């Protein structure tokens, strides 16, 4: 409930001292708390807050830090535990309020003495009659109860979320002008509700059209929908002498698969300088196998993902005639890790998202059990070898125009082109600039700087870089640029380097 490293109030009693109380002293403290609760008597030291102001970096504003009695805060926490339970149980908090709520009455001393610390100097005590004490344990809950009805939507249809005293109103629809009008009405309504409570809306807040990232919101929705449930992935390294049958038996035992479960192998292939890619699917104990040619603009990762997506598509189309349990074996470790990753982002390969959607549709609607197993390539697993062979054959054929290229693959391609063009420009320019560096240190194949992974100070890295490029404030460099006339060193050397 309490931490050791928090500063004490004016009474000088620290949390570490409270943690070391004997059992008898703890009973005394409990009696004091009960006395406060039943008699409305409030210790004078608990009423006093010492407020210090700390400058906000780069802003002409300050952040108030309030220090209050640690003993008083312990009692507040006890009261807060009970009040939160009561408020949550009978729905006394607004549904869209998310601040300081898990998973998501003692009258508080609203009149209190506060001592302000300005520029390190103590000032006189000033009595505060309005608001809630900054840093007090009960303040978030009391604020949430007080502003319960601020986002009343009886007159205007809009959506809102709250986090403590931050309120976000939003709307969605195809007509942007209409959305903006609705939000303007919503903001005015919220402002009126706050005014009735004696509060004010920050005047700088405006109605904005959201065009930014939504990955965090997506991640939250995935979490709420339990998208990671039943997504089982195993990494299996075949040992010497282990047969394919033993491997499958281990998978069956580990995951409790039914007898006669479907075993499927997938693979993707791209020649180092090949024009096309291939993907393949091999279903064990079935005469038919599948392979497909893919555009050269796709990555091997995409080819592997397309193969797994094809598996789930086949299983979905023939779900009623297939056994309940399915094992997908692949050597695409990175693809399996991406499937398992619960984080949604605009930078996630589209085929990974399609795999996840089909997976959960099969599990939820068709009651299938699907296990993904990573196996190493080229270790003699017959199904994997067959899938590899089919993928290579597909890479020799003309690409299927219906297979869309993930924009991430284009992004990778463009980054490579930009890198090469940049290096070409730098090498061309090296005839006139950075001659010493390009002659002695430049390596086109290295894409990471020499200081990557080194925990060094910026000054040291800058110094070395300037020395390596012969671009530092020594006489030889300064004379070369024409800032001084003589490159000689004070020690008598012909050049100061």
Four-CA torsion 214, 215, 218, 223, nearest 10 degrees: -150
CA 8 to chain centre: 34
Q: For residue 337, what are the contacts with CB-CB under 8 A and spacing of at least 6? A: none
Count of all residues that appear for the chain in the document: 497
Is the predicted pLDDT of residue 237 greater than 50, yes or no? yes
Centre a 10 Å sphere on the Cβ of residue 387 and count the other Cβ atoms it contains.
Answer: 29
Q: Minimal CA–CA distance to 276: which of 410, 395, 389, 392? A: 395
Measured CA angle at 410 (ends 406, 412), to 5 deg: 110
Query: Residue 330's pLDDT band (boundaries 50, 70, 90)?
Result: very high
Residue spans of alpha helices (H) in 228-341: 244-255, 300-317, 333-340
Q: How far apart are CA 448 and CA 226, in angstroms?
A: 39
DSSP tag of 52: E
Q: Could you give all domains of the chain from N- to C-terminal order, each with its CATH number? A: 15-148 (no CATH), 158-212 (no CATH), 217-410 (3.30.420.10), 434-481 (no CATH)
Interval 104-157: pLDDT, tens: 533 333 334 555 555 555 555 556 555 666 666 777 777 777 777 777 766 677
**Separation in Å, CA 27 to CA 11, 33, 130, 322:** 20, 10, 34, 67
DSSP H/E element including 117: strand 112-118
Give the model's pLDDT for residue 321: 80
pLDDT band of 243, cuts 50, 70, 90:
confident
What is the secondary structure of 368-406 as a DSSP string? -EEEEEE--SSSS-HHHHHHHHHHHHHTTSPPPTTSPPP
Q: Where are the beta strands (DSSP E) in 10-47?
A: none
8 Å CB contact between 281 and 291: yes
Output the CA torsion sign for 178, 150, 195, 77: negative
Would you call 346 helix, strand, or coil by DSSP? coil
Confidence band for 205, pLDDT divided at 50, 70 and 90? low
User: Which contacts qualify for 2-10: CB closer than 8 Å, 24 or more apart?
Assistant: 2/70, 2/73, 2/74, 2/77, 6/70, 7/67, 8/67, 8/69, 8/70, 9/45, 9/48, 9/49, 9/50, 9/67, 9/68, 9/69, 9/70, 9/72, 10/45, 10/48, 10/50, 10/67, 10/69, 10/115
Q: pLDDT of 412-469, one tens digit each?
A: 788 888 888 988 988 888 888 778 788 888 888 888 888 888 888 888 888 888 877 7
Q: Which of 144, 46, 47 is nearest to 101 (CA)?
A: 144
Residue 6: partners with Cβ closer than 8 Å, 6 or more residues away: 14, 15, 70
d(CA 329, CA 167): 48
- Amino acid 75: pLDDT: 80
- Token pair, residue 248, equals 């499958």
Mean pLDDT in residue range 322-350: 84
CA distance 408 to 349: 7
């Amino acid at each position: 409930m309490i931490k050791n490293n928090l500063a004490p109030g004016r009474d000088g009693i620290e949390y570490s001292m409270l943690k070391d109380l004997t059992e008898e002293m703890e009973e005394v403290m409990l009696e004091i708390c009960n006395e406060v609760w039943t008699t409305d008597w409030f210790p004078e030291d608990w009423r006093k807050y010492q407020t210090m102001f700390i400058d906000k970096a780069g802003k002409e504003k300050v952040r108030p830090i309030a220090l209050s009695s640690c003993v008083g805060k312990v009692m507040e926490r006890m009261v807060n535990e009970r009040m939160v339970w009561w408020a949550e149980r009978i729905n006394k908090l607004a549904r869209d309020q998310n601040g300081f709520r898990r998973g998501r009455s003692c009258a508080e001393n609203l009149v209190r003495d506060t001592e302000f610390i300005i520029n390190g100097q103590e000032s006189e005590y000033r009595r505060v009659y309005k608001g809630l004490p900054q840093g007090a344990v009960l303040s978030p809950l009391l604020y949430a109860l007080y502003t319960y009805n601020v986002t009343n939507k009886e007159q205007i249809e809009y959506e809102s979320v709250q986090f403590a005293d931050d309120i976000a109103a939003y709307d969605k629809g195809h007509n942007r002008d209409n959305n903006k009008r609705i939000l303007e009405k919503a903001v005015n309504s919220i402002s009126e509700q706050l005014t009735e409570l004696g509060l004010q809306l920050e005047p700088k807040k405006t109605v904005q059209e959201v065009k930014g990232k939504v990955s965090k919101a997506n991640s939250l929705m995935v979490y709420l929908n339990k998208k990671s449930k039943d997504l089982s992935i195993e990494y299996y390294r075949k040992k010497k002498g282990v047969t394919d049958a033993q491997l499958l038996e281990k998978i069956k035992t580990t995951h409790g698969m039914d007898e006669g479960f479907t075993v499927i192998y997938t693979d993707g292939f791209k020649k180092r300088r090949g024009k096309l890619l291939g993907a393949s699917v091999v279903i064990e104990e079935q005469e038919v196998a599948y392979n497909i040619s893919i555009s050269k603009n796709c990555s091997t990762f995409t080819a592997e993902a397309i193969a797994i997506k094809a598996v789930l598509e086949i299983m979905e189309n023939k779900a009623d005639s297939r056994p309940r349990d399915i094992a997908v074996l692949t050597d695409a470790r990175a693809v399996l890790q991406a499937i398992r990753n619960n984080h949604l982002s605009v930078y996630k390969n589209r085929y990974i998202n399609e795999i996840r959607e089909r997976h959960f549709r099969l599990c939820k609607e068709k009651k299938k059990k699907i296990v993904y197993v990573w196996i190493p390539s080229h270790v003699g697993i017959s199904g994997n070898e067959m899938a590899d062979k089919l993928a290579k054959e597909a890479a020799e054929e003309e690409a299927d125009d219906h297979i869309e290229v993930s924009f991430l693959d284009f992004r990778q391609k463009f980054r490579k082109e930009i890198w090469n063009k940049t290096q070409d420009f730098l090498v061309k320019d090296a005839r006139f600039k950075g001659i010493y560096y390009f002659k002695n240190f430049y390596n086109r194949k290295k894409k990471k700087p020499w200081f990557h992974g080194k925990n060094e100070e910026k000054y040291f890295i800058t110094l070395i870089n300037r020395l390596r490029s012969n671009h530092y404030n020594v006489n030889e460099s300064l004379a070369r640029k024409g800032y001084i006339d003589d490159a000689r060193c004070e020690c008598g050397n012909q050049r100061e380097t």
